Structure 1
Amino acid sequence: MGQQASVDASRAAGDAIPASGIVPLDARPLGAGGLLEALEHERARWFYWVPVAFGCGIWSYFALSREPPFATTLLPFFAAMILHAALRRAPAMSIATTLAMIMAAGFAMASIRSATVAAPILEKSIGPVEVRGFVELVEPREDRGERLTLRVTALGAVPPEVRPERVRVRTPTRMAGLEPGDAVIVRARLAPPAAPALPGDYDFARHAYFQGLGAVGYAVAPPRRDADASSPPLSLAVRAAIERFRQSIGRRVTAVLPGPTGAIANALMTGERGGIPEATNEAFRDSGLFHILSISGLHMAIMGGAVFWTARAVLALFPSIALRYPIKKWAAVAAAFGSLGYLAISGGSFATVRSFITISIMFLAILMDRPAVALRNVALSAFAILILFPESLLDVGFQMSFAAVVALVSAYEMFRDRARRRGGAPYGALTKVALFFGGIVLSTLVASAAVAPFAIYHFHTSQQFAILANLLAVPLCNIVVMPAALAAFLAMPLGLEAGPLLVMGMGIEGMVWTADHVAALPGAVTAVSAIPTFAFVLMLAGGLWLLLWGARWRLLGGVALVAGIVAAPLLERPDVLVGRDGRLVAVRGISGALSVIAEDRSRFEVARWLEHDGDDRDAKAAAVNGGNGVTCDSIGCTATVKGMRISVARHPAAIAEDCARADILVLDVPVPKGCESPAAIVDFFAARTKGTHAIYIERPRGIRIETVAERRGIRPWAPAHPWSNEGRKRARELALRARKTAAASRGWAPDDAPSRLPAFAAPVDMLDTLVLPRADDEDDLPLFYSDDN
């Protein structure tokens, strides 16, 4: 009460606050009272921190190593609410408990979302197995194959309670006339969605879990139609109709614009990127323009804005309407519906849905006579997205998109306020042109600086000429490509889309030319070693503090930002990496670079290791060649790192000697009994059950081991390995559940069920045949799947 009275008295006394709203740091007393007064001056910006606090709660859910009991997820929220009710009269405690409530709400929403999308995940690799289902999505690939997403109706002998609801498979050839909604039969090898390639790396399995994918794999034979299938569910039939409409648009686009130009046009109009050649994708990646190929906030804003201004201009042609009705609001409604149509046509990906929510809130602000471009709208958009899709917080697209938007809108508000204070005569024509191009340059610089930490943290690369590429390509996209795409959409019902598409094609060719030439510049892409999470968090917190507050104390965010940049190179790199089956090993040699003992089917995993290490070599160049302190012969490899002997045994003849002499021993077979001398042993079972091992040699002669399984914990998207103790326990529970289900459905007495059950639902005493795969079960499956599989 006393602090609030102090604030009120200060206001009543008419304390001088600059017209800009920026209150100097030295105008406030130090201590808790000064902090509360500073917060009170920033009351209008408090809402900006709601999605930040909500996101912290979501992050705390995903950071857990175990899934919390669902019944307890709301307890922190109710506890914080009770505390808030009890302590709300104390300003400091009121603020603290409000933040605690918001964070607890984020935690609860993440848990609820996880439970809502829960679906079975394949426990181990199987196949070839017959998959029956309805086609949800057909994505042509550059290699003449297709990637199919199937809604599964049958999967070999796998019972329904453990059968994935949705799988994604690659096919070697394209099936003529295949469309969403078709019932097909595919013989395929399937595997669970891939775990991270190393501890702390991108978790594709988590991404797949929230997409409803329970397995991924590839077809061993072309798919064929299922003549005996029933009609698809209504929801799938509606989705299939939309997908067929998208495909028809894509065919009309590529008929006018063949080759890579047409593939990019199709990607921008329908969201289908599968036809873009990999060389073109690589050029856009290396030049920093890859974001243009994915429908996101940029494209949704251009499309929605084009509809808004077109509708408003048309309505303004009729004075009887323009002078009597709020045509600006009518145009906003038209733009919202236009954006909704673009959302449907573009495939409705999560990134596009997020962009639609953001642009819709901007149009809603217009309907409510509020500024469309404002940090409050950005905060509201982020909050709405995180409520609906809490997993978006971990999505790099969400992070980079909102980082750029927050930075751009903050800069816009700053210059807008300065322009208002300037007053005076309006700008001349030349000044307006200069301001237009200056705005393009400034917005490119601001957005590039905002997303740079995210690009380095997630992708371990830095595009040195991204600013140049964006300065050239983004205006083409904004002024030529996307408006032409809108014109093509409007002309398609009349069959007149060829003209707009040709204009769009010229703009795309300009973007491709920019990407090719910028990517070809010397040093266009620099590999950057992974940075510590705490350094990334410092940069993120500093950036938010700098952009979301309005007073001068926001400059304190620069301190955290600089601290994060200084700490970026401090990540300790592993001395030994062991892949998930013990066959793939990388050892840090005397040069400081990794030497890889690899096999052909480990290319993806090796690539991720090298990227994380800031190494721009490919798997072949990083392979052991007799140098860098690693020596190999026909039975294994040895190296000495920081005074410790590392042995990689590849033949039974080497195991006895390596057991006696090695400090760190890596085997691709189970460790034999009596091998106890090494300080650390990673054998086949350890690698398979715990995933990639990262081994750190710490002086004096200490060893620290991190594994993928330990970093992931046991979560719905990361179940315990079937060979682990927890995995065997879970398999027993599934077997017992299957036995009871079969007994109940077939009218058996429970005691009679075991002898009549299929092998997959075997009773507990047959568990080993259930969970232990044959030796050749995974020989033809790639070890890791990227998001492209």
Structure 2
Amino acid sequence: MAETDAAPSIALPPRQTDGWQMLAAIERVLEAERDQLALWVPVGFGAGIAGWFALPGPTGWIGLGIAAAGVGLAALLFGGTSRLGRAVTIFALAMLLGLVAIWTKADWVAAPRIDRPKVVALTGIVEAAEPRPATATIRLLIAPDTGNGLPPRVRINVDAEDLPAPPPAGSRVAVRARLLPPAPPMVPGGYDFARVAWFERIGATGRALDPPVIVAPDGGSSLADIRTRLTAHIEASIKDAGEGGIAASFVTGDQGGIPEDDNEALRRAGLAHLLSVSGLHVTAVVGAVMLLTIRLLALSRRLALHAPLPLIAAGAGALAGIGYTLLTGSEVPTVRSCIAALLVLGGIALGREAITLRLVAAGALIVLVFWPEALAGPSFQLSFAAIAALVAFHEHPKVAAFAARRDEGIVLGGARILLMLLASGVVIEAALSPIALFHFHKAGLYGAAANIVAIPLTTFVVMPAEAIALALDLVGLGAPIWWLVGKALGLLLWIAHVVADAPGSVANLPSMPRGAFALMATGGLWIVLWRTRLRRWGVVPLAMGAIWSLLTPPPDILVTGDGRHVAVRDGRDGIAILRDRAGDYVRDVLGEASGVEGEAPALELMPFARCSADLCAVDVSGGGRTIRLLATRSRDFVDIRAMTRACAAADIVVSDRRLPRTCHPRWLKADAPFLRSTGGLAIRIGSGEVESVAEQVGLHPWGSFAAGSR
């Protein structure tokens, strides 16, 4: 009997679920982006560092570490054979390593700090001396003698008239000084010097009360001394203080000689990046040395025919870059730029493409491994955001095709170069604006136009001219070249002041929520690091962060951590301050945190305030509500019965001293004991939100609040 065919199956064929289809689609996208995946390793490492800074204390840090390890392990177990699983595993591992790196570094640099102001007889060794002609002071970094019972490093300011010349490093110093603990942010969102001081092991800052006694060391000069003398020489060679200070900053990185009005103009014009020795300056030095080396060696026919001149020139450029980095104080932007330059030179030596996003990512990872704390500072963020955005822009196929060299006339070629410079400036400004708004609460809007002239002027005129002038100074012939440098820098300052004074030149924004900044940073990285259409999704978190920032209302009341200074919104997009004798620094901090510019009048001059010599009562409106604020403004005692009645009629009472127990405002009593536990306050009346510095600092080791975060 012949075999019959098997009956056909009536079972349905296996069908992929929506979840599997989505995973398959993700795999296809990641396959197309496989060359970009490595760029996310430093992002993951930085995310771990950022998480440590953002979370308030050990509980959150441990939770973040467990979460990263859990996600990485799950991705490895359930998707280790897929590209998505491997990518998630590596990103999670990088995040865990970043968290461990910053936590370890913070514990490793731990050093004693003073806990209250004190006057001491300080003796020790000068580690560095930084002249600051703009403020007529010299800043000394001192390692006190062990018997003083002081922190390992102390920073004090000395009046320039009490110290005619900066002492060389290694000098012994004896001085009576008033020391303070490293200052936390004055108000929420402000500059956190305490964090910076922690990682630099500075346990006290202060001011000399008497002229110091200096005993100079025997022996040679250190790099710090050479830098100090070189700064003084450059500033003396150019008569104008602003031009001389900028010229010195290009060579030694010392910005102390630049007058504040010129500094502010450069910031408002989007040109402040020129003052920080970073990629532009290192590239100019390395490129000039390479060009000079290869030209000189090529004069020998034997060397030109038989020696690897590009390799030798790259080696000379590398040595020049390292020497320049050391001379300028090895600040993080300079170190980052030097590392990037060395990687470029290595790529040239190997015959590889010089500048790529992989090189930028490698430089970022190296910096973060050795200096993880740099991630929290604006210098690192601005530096890498600018270079990453610029490289990604020029790597785009359409941009690369437009910028490619071609046989065309001078007019068309020049117009193409000019257009690329303008477009590059716009891209850089777009990348830097969120960072500037987050850290400084302001960003220049015309920086792209200003940089079209400023960058070529600095790169091709000022820096080469300074190098020639310094070389000619060896034989006493540098004066004419210094005159040229002064004129070029005068043009730079003229551009800065014109742009800074133009209507609408600066965008101001009050303190930005950290979550909004994180969303914008994520969106920016997403756009920059991917190449396919996947990058377009970065617009979503970028827009969400921007909208969140714009919709966040400015604080209606700001209180500094010492309780002495209060700023309230005047209902006309301005602020008024409690004490009319507040210094410029306090006024700037309160204005920036409020997102306003211009003079802040005294509170007593406002029609909504009623002030006496001791108290000010103010009706403050915000978010559809009006509350009564009462603030003390003198150190004199107030009759307790009058104070009790005033407190009962107020919603918020602020004082820089302890208020009596009978003082019971309806909402908040922010007196000295309370502010010691919270730090500065930002109050929004409509939502009832009270944001404190202590909340932002949390339980990080540099925090100094009595009750921690609230």
Given that 2:134 and 2:257 are in contact with CA atoms closer than 8 Å, whether structure 1 keeps it comes out as no
Given that 2:134 and 2:256 are in contact with CA atoms closer than 8 Å, whether structure 1 keeps it comes out as no
Deviation at 1:182, TM superposition (A): 1.3
Amino acid corresponding to residue 450 of structure 2 in structure 1: A
Deviation at 1:649, TM superposition (A): 4.5
Q: Does residue 519 in structure 1 map to residue 500 in structure 2?
A: yes
Deviation at 1:637, TM superposition (A): 2.1
In structure 2, relative to structure 1, the CA distance for the partners of 1:562 and 1:549 (3 Å cut) is same
Given that 2:72 and 2:88 are in contact with CA atoms closer than 8 Å, whether structure 1 keeps it comes out as no
Deviation at 1:629, TM superposition (A): 2.3
Which of 686, 696, 704 is the equivalent residue of 1:719? 704
Where do 1:534-545 residues align within 5 Å?
Answer: 534-545=515-526
Partner of 2:5: none
Task: Give me the whole-angstrom Cα distance separating, in 2, the residues matched to 1:367 and 1:324.
Answer: 16
Q: Does residue 630 in structure 1 map to residue 626 in structure 2?
A: no
Where do 1:572-721 residues align within 5 Å?
Answer: 572-591=553-572, 593-598=574-579, 600-601=581-582, 603-618=584-599, 621-640=600-619, 641=621, 642-649=625-632, 651-653=637-639, 654-676=642-664, 678-698=666-686, 703-721=688-706
Partner of 1:202: 191
Q: Residues 382-422 of structure 1: CA distance to partner in whole angstroms, max 9, x if unpaired?
A: 11111111111111121111111111111222258843998
* Structure 2 SS opposite 1:140: strand
Given that 1:256 and 1:262 are in contact with CA atoms closer than 8 Å, whether structure 2 keeps it comes out as yes
Given that 2:134 and 2:260 are in contact with CA atoms closer than 8 Å, whether structure 1 keeps it comes out as no
Task: Give me the whole-angstrom Cα distance separating, in 2, the residues matched to 1:545 and 1:440.
Answer: 24
Partner of 1:97: 89
Deviation at 1:617, TM superposition (A): 2.6
In structure 2, relative to structure 1, the CA distance for the partners of 1:549 and 1:691 (3 Å cut) is same
Partner of 1:49: 40
Partner of 2:296: 314
Task: Give me the whole-angstrom Cα distance separating, in 2, the residues matched to 1:429 and 1:660.
Answer: 78
Deviation at 1:694, TM superposition (A): 2.3
* Structure 1 SS opposite 2:183: coil
Q: Does residue 216 in structure 1 map to residue 205 in structure 2?
A: yes
Partner of 1:171: 159
Which of 319, 342, 347 is the equivalent residue of 2:329? 347
Given that 2:271 and 2:451 are in contact with CA atoms closer than 8 Å, whether structure 1 keeps it comes out as yes
Which of 57, 64, 68 is the equivalent residue of 1:66? 57
Given that 2:699 and 2:708 are in contact with CA atoms closer than 8 Å, whether structure 1 keeps it comes out as no
Which of 159, 176, 190 is the equivalent residue of 2:149? 159
Partner of 1:736: none
Deviation at 1:348, TM superposition (A): 2.2
Unaligned runs of 5+ in 2: 1-19
Q: Residues 658-688 of structure 1: CA distance to partner in whole angstroms, max 9, x if unpaired?
A: 2332222223332323444623211121123
Given that 2:123 and 2:148 are in contact with CA atoms closer than 8 Å, whether structure 1 keeps it comes out as no
Q: Residues 83-120 of structure 1: CA distance to partner in whole angstroms, max 9, x if unpaired?
A: 56544235433322221101001111111221232222
Given that 1:539 and 1:560 are in contact with CA atoms closer than 8 Å, whether structure 2 keeps it comes out as yes
Given that 1:199 and 1:693 are in contact with CA atoms closer than 8 Å, whether structure 2 keeps it comes out as yes
Given that 2:128 and 2:142 are in contact with CA atoms closer than 8 Å, whether structure 1 keeps it comes out as no
Task: Give me the whole-angstrom Cα distance separating, in 2, the residues matched to 1:415 and 1:477.
Answer: 29
Amino acid corresponding to residue 593 of structure 2 in structure 1: H
Partner of 1:456: 437
Given that 1:280 and 1:512 are in contact with CA atoms closer than 8 Å, whether structure 2 keeps it comes out as yes
Q: Residues 263-299 of structure 1: CA distance to partner in whole angstroms, max 9, x if unpaired?
A: 3222211122222222322332232222212212111
In structure 2, relative to structure 1, the CA distance for the partners of 1:166 and 1:644 (3 Å cut) is closer
TM-score for both structures, normalised by structure 1: 0.79
Where do 1:23-172 residues align within 5 Å?
Answer: 31-67=22-58, 86-87=77-78, 88-127=80-119, 129-142=120-133, 145-154=136-145, 159=149, 163-172=151-160
Partner of 2:512: 531
Task: Give me the whole-angstrom Cα distance separating, in 2, the residues matched to 1:536 and 1:609.
Answer: 21
Which of 540, 546, 550 is the equivalent residue of 1:569? 550
Task: Give me the whole-angstrom Cα distance separating, in 1, the residues matched to 2:338 and 2:410.
Answer: 34
Deviation at 1:490, TM superposition (A): 4.5
Task: Give me the whole-angstrom Cα distance separating, in 1, the residues matched to 2:67 and 2:544.
Answer: 32
Partner of 2:266: 284
* Structure 1 SS opposite 2:306: coil
Deviation at 1:601, TM superposition (A): 4.6
Deviation at 1:305, TM superposition (A): 1.5
Given that 1:197 and 1:692 are in contact with CA atoms closer than 8 Å, whether structure 2 keeps it comes out as yes
Task: Give me the whole-angstrom Cα distance separating, in 2, the residues matched to 1:613 and 1:417.
Answer: 40
Where do 1:744-755 residues align within 5 Å?
Answer: none
In structure 2, relative to structure 1, the CA distance for the partners of 1:255 and 1:223 (3 Å cut) is same
Deviation at 1:376, TM superposition (A): 0.8
Deviation at 1:522, TM superposition (A): 3.7
Deviation at 1:433, TM superposition (A): 3.4
Where do 1:490-529 residues align within 5 Å?
Answer: 490-491=471-472, 493=474, 495-529=476-510
CA RMSD of aligned residues (A): 3.1
Deviation at 1:635, TM superposition (A): 3.9
* Structure 2 SS opposite 1:685: helix
* Structure 2 SS opposite 1:436: helix
Partner of 2:276: 294
Task: Give me the whole-angstrom Cα distance separating, in 2, the residues matched to 1:421 and 1:186.
Answer: 60
Amino acid corresponding to residue 458 of structure 2 in structure 1: C
Task: Give me the whole-angstrom Cα distance separating, in 2, the residues matched to 1:287 and 1:419.
Answer: 31
* Structure 2 SS opposite 1:133: strand
Partner of 2:537: 556
Task: Give me the whole-angstrom Cα distance separating, in 2, the residues matched to 1:381 and 1:516.
Answer: 34
Given that 1:53 and 1:102 are in contact with CA atoms closer than 8 Å, whether structure 2 keeps it comes out as yes
In structure 2, relative to structure 1, the CA distance for the partners of 1:666 and 1:263 (3 Å cut) is closer
Given that 1:578 and 1:584 are in contact with CA atoms closer than 8 Å, whether structure 2 keeps it comes out as yes
Deviation at 1:173, TM superposition (A): 2.1
Task: Give me the whole-angstrom Cα distance separating, in 1, the residues matched to 2:297 and 2:355.
Answer: 23
Q: Residues 122-170 of structure 1: CA distance to partner in whole angstroms, max 9, x if unpaired?
A: 211111x211122222222235733333332238x8525xx34232334
Deviation at 1:379, TM superposition (A): 0.9
Partner of 1:474: 455
In structure 2, relative to structure 1, the CA distance for the partners of 1:665 and 1:143 (3 Å cut) is same
Partner of 2:12: none
Deviation at 1:190, TM superposition (A): 1.0
Q: Residues 333-388 of structure 1: CA distance to partner in whole angstroms, max 9, x if unpaired?
A: 11110111111222222322222122222112222222111111011111111111
* Structure 1 SS opposite 2:222: helix
Task: Give me the whole-angstrom Cα distance separating, in 2, the residues matched to 1:313 and 1:657.
Answer: 84
Partner of 1:744: none
Given that 1:658 and 1:665 are in contact with CA atoms closer than 8 Å, whether structure 2 keeps it comes out as no
Given that 2:609 and 2:618 are in contact with CA atoms closer than 8 Å, whether structure 1 keeps it comes out as yes
Given that 1:254 and 1:266 are in contact with CA atoms closer than 8 Å, whether structure 2 keeps it comes out as yes
Deviation at 1:515, TM superposition (A): 1.9
In structure 2, relative to structure 1, the CA distance for the partners of 1:659 and 1:515 (3 Å cut) is closer
Given that 2:694 and 2:708 are in contact with CA atoms closer than 8 Å, whether structure 1 keeps it comes out as no
Task: Give me the whole-angstrom Cα distance separating, in 1, the residues matched to 2:482 and 2:270.
Answer: 25
Residue identity over aligned pairs, in percent, reads: 33
* Structure 2 SS opposite 1:104: helix
Paired residues in the alignment total: 678
Bigger shift: 179-188 or 462-471?
462-471
* Structure 2 SS opposite 1:550: coil
Bigger shift: 250-259 or 684-693?
250-259
Deviation at 1:81, TM superposition (A): 6.5
Unaligned runs of 5+ in 1: 1-28, 727-789
